[in-house]
Chain A
Amino acid sequence: MNIIGPDALVFGVDDIAACAQYLTDYGLTPVGLDANGGRFEALDGTAVVLAHKDDPNLPAPLGTASMLRKTIYGVADEHTLGAIAEELGRDRDVKRLPDGSIETVDDMGFALGFQVTVRRPLDLPAEAINAPYAPAGRPANVVGVDEGAPALPRTLSHVVYFVPDAAKAEAFYVGRLGFACTDRLLGAGPFLKPAGTDDHHTLFLIQTPPFMKGCEHFTFHLGGPTEVLQAGTRFVNKGYQSFWGPGRHKMGSNWFWYFNSPLGCHVEYDADMDLHDAGWTARAVPMSADASQLFLFQQRDKWAPGGPPPGAAGAAERH
């Protein structure tokens, strides 16, 4: 099954204006936004879609606090779409929607869509670095820091689900849709990638009690670690609440920075994820803070080294 990855995540929210502002400030571009919702696109056209939680066109809610209503996967072609419809149609309803996509549910009750991918191929450079004894990443006179760099989300990377039965959920994605497990955090769940991408994961499953079922977070890929820190710093400066990060994960090696959101889940910036092919053997380690991250920083206000500030110097002299 040539599934490339998530094309869009659909949320049913109570406060469309707040969520629209949030996603715009995060760096997505509103498309067709009105009082009933709209689409918020990354550079390649992958997106978060907002609708009111009572919109009758949305798939049913999960019955928890989660506002995620549908995950829409992009696939390579019509042939793949037909193959998915045939495979999943064996034991569940698969609807063909007017836009040509298909809609169904996974074994945990998460609504799924599949469509021929809307991703627009882009020609963008990765963050370039210089290192001693390595070929120059940037030619002479090209500076690395650009305070005005856009640092915009390039593509929808992955979504993380809280699921009540991680083994059963994994079996569905692996057995029915051709996903592969790239790594496993024991006690939490598997990192999964579909066949149409080399990314370490587009889906991560975390075992939880049923009342937690839903979306833990989603993230878009940026152009490199500097962009993660630059976009995240701007987001903090706009008043948004950092939750975890910046830091770097071990599994996947991706840089991360997570924020609270009005969408009922965390929203992350990420960059520089590992790529894998069939030659990779999945690792399995017990879930822990040490297993989850190589290092973790905490954002704080800017400062610069120098002599003591006037007040401090004055205080020292008085003693």
Chain B
Amino acid sequence: MGGLPAGRVERDEHEYAQWEKRVDALMMLLSDEDRQLLKVDELRRNIESLGADAYDRMGYYERWMHAIVQTLIQRGVLSIDELGRKLEELEGRGG
């Protein structure tokens, strides 16, 4: 997106939430030498595939979490069904 028109740079900053830090950690662990369960390039491709609307609507770590899930599905590390069941279980626990 270099060179496209855009507004002012907003410089407010905030402390990241725990879940956001854990998304970052997830990315580091899964891409490390020992595990190599995803490459950052796959994450970037999945983020780029979001399309402009979703991209702008989503927060930074939401986009990365989306990309991690998509990549792990594409790699066959996780199945859609087990993700669905785990999410259901967490909602049941009030998570």
Q: Is chain B found bound to chain A in the same assembly? A: no
